[in-house]
């Protein structure tokens, strides 16, 4: 790549003004979530001397994991302009299936886990079929399923109510860490792959004679992202055990690579495949999608299948974190936090707008509020109210920015 | 005159007791704009839906490029090279221009969308139509004006080496300047060798771009005449009464 092709493109200033006009026209993307995250971390860091410790940071990640994965699934359904209120209890049901298969029936985890996720996919297929083929509003179908799955979970959990899981592999996901060395290897491999894929994208567009992303801007963004994640790895690699002689706690929690894998997979499906494109199309204008020859019903069903299957993965995370499942697994505020996470991250409730990463950003915001306020000594009451307000503000920002677009 | 790309002979269509199209004949030529005019309820929409394969006619012959064809469903119409741009355009606001132009017919490399290829093709098509009003083809359709949206919808229709493009009131909701742009575009389609059927209520538009005019009156083809042979008033008579002094209604253009 010669330097004059770099100079020939638009300047950084143009790119900034482009971005600014996009924001003004309502396409705010991840901006509110990122800003919110920075502000929240600043406030909680200043008010609590525990919040910014490595121990709490690792705790935050494992705490956010299950809700984030449910939110990732919800992004698919929200993109269609539908909703899945039953995803929380779907994760509970799948978690129960997993734990029962392993604890009560002695299955190996690598057999039980796919089966439990498959159960989730099946639940999603039923929901999707009812919505797409019978035309029942998703709100009603999944509200019914919310109750139904809760009952199913009660039946599965049985009289005792709680089933423990002792499988070391499942427990490791939320409780163990990569060693410090492996953490760095993981970070470096992912970074290199990220850089290569970015360069490859820019290069192939240049070769095709198309306007490519400004290299300077891309370098800035990449350095920023890798810098922040690098600091995160350094923090996680510090000793965070209260008693290092007894037990050493450091490294990236194993759940992080799991979520990263799901993020990459989901982003690929939504952004680079025809199926992903069709999801956006159906969410944007279902009639236009139908006339373009897209099988709208199948797209709808597939989105619900993906949502519930990811809830199945979240069920495994719940089982791992709680060392058990109970009739409350995936219940209470789980689903609302997950919807909140997706919307706070920038996914529109009106459909057609959203990304996989929204779930991660929003999941972190929700977890930071929960965690930070807990550290400051606020009870569940205040936490719920604040999280509810944040969700309301995000949905409001979404609605207002949408109005800005349509009035243009 | 050369053979028409599409000929309809004696097409009939009824919905229950309502006889909507009665022995309709229509000839459409490559490189020409055929305006289809008629009052509300004259059967314009039904006729184009028969051509587009959405309705199947009860009787009559379809000749496409001289061969007798049956169009059963929109996909068969598309396969023949017939594209329809409906009045509501059917664009996805949240997707960009390239995505919309390739919606449902994405170009893929294996399982992965071939974005560069699609963008180049879209760019080439828009350039071929001399469309210069669109700043970036990666902007979302929601940010476009009505005329630009119409342009995208039309460009999508001609992207697939189509031979016949049917436009349903493309200027109905547009301002003066945008109407002019779209009419230029319609003219360019024909000049590029495509056959165009233009449905319009606006006779000023019709006389500006059409080569010949087909007037429907209560489900019958009142006349299909060359534009040069009729006046606006005669066309209005054809639309409102089904006949006009001085117009040879049996004539074939």
Per-residue tens of pLDDT for chain B, all 253 residues: 578 899 999 999 999 898 899 999 999 999 999 999 998 888 888 999 899 888 888 888 999 988 898 888 888 888 899 988 888 778 998 999 999 999 988 888 888 898 888 998 898 888 877 777 777 888 888 888 888 888 888 888 888 878 999 998 888 878 888 888 889 889 988 998 899 999 988 899 899 999 999 999 988 888 888 888 888 888 888 888 888 777 766 665 5
Q: Which residues of A touch B75 (CB under 8 A)?
A: 293
The residue behind tokens 């109510």 is A161
User: Is A268 part of any domain?
Assistant: yes
A372 falls within a domain:
yes
B105–A292 CB contact, under 8 Å: yes
- Structural domains counted in chain A: 1
Q: What is the pLDDT of residue A96?
A: 94
**Domain of residue A37, CATH code:** 1.10.3470
Instruction: Give 10-residue mean pLDDT values along chain A (408 residues).
Output: 42 76 71 88 90 89 94 96 95 95 91 95 96 94 95 87 89 90 94 93 84 83 92 89 81 93 95 94 91 90 97 95 89 88 90 92 92 89 87 83 59
For residues A128, A129, A135, A137, the Cα torsion angle rounded to the nearest 10 degrees is -30
Between strands B67-69 and B82-85, the pairing is: unpaired
Cα–Cα distance for residue pair A19/A24, rounded to 1 Å: 9
Spatial contact of A235 and A41, defined as CB atoms under 8 Å apart: no
> Nearest CB to B103: which of A283, A292, A406?
A292
Nearest-Cα distance to chain B for A211, in Å, is 10
The tokens of B252 are what? 């074939």
Other beta carbons less than 10 A from residue B175's beta carbon: 12
The residue in chain A having the minimum alpha-carbon distance to the alpha carbon of residue B112 is: A273
**Closest residue in B to A286 (Cα–Cα):** B92
Tell me, yes or no, whether A56 lies in a domain. Answer: yes
- Angle between the A54-79 and A296-322 helix axes, to the nearest 10 degrees? 160
What per-residue confidence (pLDDT) applies to A133? 94
- Asked if the structure places residue A246 within a domain, the reply is no
**pLDDT for position B181:** 85
Write a three-state SS string for chain A. Answer: CCHHHHHHCCCHHHHHHHHHHHHHCCCCCCHHHHHHHHHHHHHHHHHCCCCCCHHHHHHHHHHHHHHHHHHHHHHHHHHCCCCCCCHHHHHHHHHHHHHHHHHHCCCCHHHHHHHHHHHHHHHHHHHHHHHHCCCCCHHHHHHHHHHHHHHHHHHHHCCCCCEECCCHHHHHHHHCECCHHHHHHHHHHHHHHHHHHHHHHHHHHHHCCCCCCCHHHHHHHHHHHHHHHHHHHHHHCCCCCCCCCCCCCCCCECHHHHHHHHHHHHHHHHHHCHHHHHHHHHHHCHHHHHHCCCCHHHHHHHHHHHHHHHHHHHHHHHHHHHCEECCCCCCCCHHHHHHHHHHHHCCCCCCCCCCHHHHHHHHHHHHHHHHHHHHCCCCHHHHHHHHHHHHHHHHHHHHHHHHHHHHC
**Interchain pair A210, B116: CB under 8 A:** yes
**What is the pLDDT at residue B251?**
60
Contact (CB<8Å) A273/B103: no
Q: How far is B198 from chain A (nearest CA, A)?
A: 20
Burial zone of A374 (CB within 10 Å; 0-12 exposed, 13-18 middle, 19+ buried): middle
The verdict on residue A10 lying in a domain is no
A205/B113 Cβ within 8 A = no
Q: Is A287 on the interface with B (CB under 8 A)?
A: yes
Please tell me the distance in Å from A353's CA to the nearest CA on chain B. 7
Does residue A43 form part of some domain? yes
Q: What pLDDT is recorded for position B124? A: 87
User: How many beta-carbon pairs under 8 angstroms link A with B?
Assistant: 83
For tokens 């996720």, the residue is: A117
Using a CB-CB distance cutoff of 8 angstroms, which residues of chain A are in contact with residue B140?
A: 27
Distance from CA of B249 to the nearest CA of A (A): 37
B116 contacts in A (CB within 8 Å)?
Answer: 204-205, 207-208, 210
Could A284 and B95 be called an inter-chain contact, meaning their C-beta atoms sit closer than 8 Å? yes
**Partner residue facing B90 (CB), from A210, A285, A352:** A285
Write the CA distances from B52 to A260, A368, A376, B161, B171, integer angstroms. Answer: 47, 56, 66, 16, 20
Question: Residue A322: which domain range?
Answer: 30-176+253-401
Q: Is the residue at A354 inside a domain?
A: yes
Show residues of chain A in contact with B108, CB under 8 Å. Answer: 274
Rounded to 5 degrees, φ, ψ at A211 are -65, 120
**pTM of the predicted model, to two decimals?**
0.88
B145-171 pLDDT per residue, tens: 888 888 888 888 888 878 999 998 888
Q: How far apart are CA A215 and CA A213, in angstroms?
A: 6
Decide if B92 contacts A280 (C-beta within 8 A): yes
A407 touches chain B (CB under 8 A): no
CB B73 within 8 A of CB B82: no
> Which residues pair with residue B59 across a beta bridge?
B12
Q: From the CB of residue A55, how many other CB atoms can be counted at a distance below 10 Å?
A: 17
In this prediction the ipTM stands at 0.83
Q: Which residues of B touch A289 (CB under 8 A)?
A: 92, 103-104
Burial of B187 (0-12, 13-18, 19+ CB in 10 A): middle
Rounded to 5°, the CA angle A195-A196-A201 comes to 100
Fold type of domain B6-89+161-241: Rossmann fold (3.40.50)
Is A352 close to B113, i.e. CB distance below 8 A?
no
Show residues of chain B in contact with A283, CB under 8 Å: 94
* Pairwise CB contact (< 8 Å): B92 & A284: yes
Subunit contact A284:B90, Cβ cutoff 8 A: no
Query: How far apart, in whole angstroms, are the C-alpha atoms of residue A200 and residue A166?
Result: 44
Chain B residues 92-111 within an 8 A CB cutoff of chain A: 92-95, 99, 103-106, 108, 111
- Which residue's structure tokens are 């901006």? A31
Query: Per the domain annotation, does A53 fall within a domain?
Result: yes
């Amino acid at each position: 790549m010669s330097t004059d092709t770099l100079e020939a493109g638009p300047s950084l200033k143009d790119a900034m003004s482009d971005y600014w006009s996009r924001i003004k026209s309502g396409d705010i993307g991840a901006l509110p979530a990122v800003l919110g995250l920075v502000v929240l971390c600043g406030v909680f860091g200043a008010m609590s001397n525990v919040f910014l410790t490595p121990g709490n940071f690792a705790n935050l990640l494992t705490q956010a994991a299950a809700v984030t994965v449910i939110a990732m699934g919800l992004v698919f359904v929200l993109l269609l302009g539908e909703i899945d209120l039953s995803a929380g209890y779907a994760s509970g049901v799948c978690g129960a299936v997993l734990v029962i298969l392993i604890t009560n029936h002695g299955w190996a985890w690598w057999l039980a886990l796919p089966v439990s996720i498959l159960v989730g996919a099946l639940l999603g297929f039923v929901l999707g079929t009812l919505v797409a083929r019978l035309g029942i509003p998703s709100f009603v179908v999944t509200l019914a399923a919310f109750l139904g799955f809760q009952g199913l979970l009660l039946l599965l959990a049985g009289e005792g109510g709680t089933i423990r899981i002792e499988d070391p592999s499942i427990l490791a996901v939320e409780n163990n860490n990569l060693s410090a060395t492996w953490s760095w290897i993981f970070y470096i491999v992912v970074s290199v792959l990220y850089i290569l894929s970015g360069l490859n994208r820019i290069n192939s567009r240049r070769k095709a004679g198309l306007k490519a992303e400004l290299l300077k801007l891309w370098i800035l963004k990449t350095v920023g992202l890798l810098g922040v994640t690098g600091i995160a790895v350094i923090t996680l690699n510090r000793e965070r055990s209260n008693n290092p002689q007894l037990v050493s706690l450091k490294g990236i929690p194993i759940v992080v690579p799991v979520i990263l894998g799901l993020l990459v997979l989901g982003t690929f499906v939504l952004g680079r495949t025809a199926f992903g494109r069709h999801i956006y199309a159906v969410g944007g204008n279902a009639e236009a999608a139908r006339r373009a020859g897209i099988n709208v019903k199948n797209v709808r069903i597939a989105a619900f299948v993906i949502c519930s299957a990811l809830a199945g993965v979240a069920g495994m995370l719940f089982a791992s974190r709680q060392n058990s499942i109970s009739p409350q697994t995936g219940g209470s505020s789980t689903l609302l936090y997950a919807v909140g996470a997706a919307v706070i991250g920038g996914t529109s409730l009106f459909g057609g707008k959203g990304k996989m990463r929204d779930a991660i950003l929003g999941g972190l915001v929700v977890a930071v509020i929960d965690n930070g306020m807990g550290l400051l000594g606020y009870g569940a009451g205040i936490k719920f109210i604040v999280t509810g307000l944040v969700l309301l503000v995000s949905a409001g920002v979404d609605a207002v920015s949408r109005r800005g677009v349509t009035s243009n | 005159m050369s053979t028409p790309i599409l000929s309809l002979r004696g097409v009939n269509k009824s919905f229950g007791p309502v006889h909507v199209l009665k022995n309709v004949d229509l000839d459409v030529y490559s490189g020409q704009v055929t305006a289809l005019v008629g009052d509300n309820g004259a059967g314009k929409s039904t006729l184009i839906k028969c051509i587009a394969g959405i309705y199947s006619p009860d009787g009559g012959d379809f000749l496409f490029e001289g061969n007798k064809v049956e169009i059963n469903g929109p996909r068969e119409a598309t396969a023949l090279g017939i594209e329809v741009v409906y009045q509501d355009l059917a664009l996805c606001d949240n997707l960009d221009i390239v995505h919309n132009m390739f919606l449902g017919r994405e170009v893929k490399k294996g399982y992965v969308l071939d974005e560069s290829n699609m963008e180049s093709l879209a760019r080439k098509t828009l350039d071929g139509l001399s469309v210069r009003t669109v700043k970036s083809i990666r902007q979302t359709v929601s940010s476009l004006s009505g005329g630009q949206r119409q342009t995208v919808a039309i460009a999508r229709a001609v992207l697939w080496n189509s031979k016949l493009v049917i436009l349903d009131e493309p200027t109905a909701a547009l301002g003066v300047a945008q109407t002019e742009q779209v009419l230029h575009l319609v003219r360019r389609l024909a000049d590029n060798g495509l056959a165009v059927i233009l449905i319009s209520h606006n006779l000023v538009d019709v006389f500006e771009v059409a080569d010949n005019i087909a007037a429907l009156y209560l489900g019958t083809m009142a006349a299909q005449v060359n534009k040069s042979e009729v006046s606006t008033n005669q066309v209005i008579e054809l639309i409102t009464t089904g006949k006009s002094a001085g117009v040879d209604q049996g004539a074939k253009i």
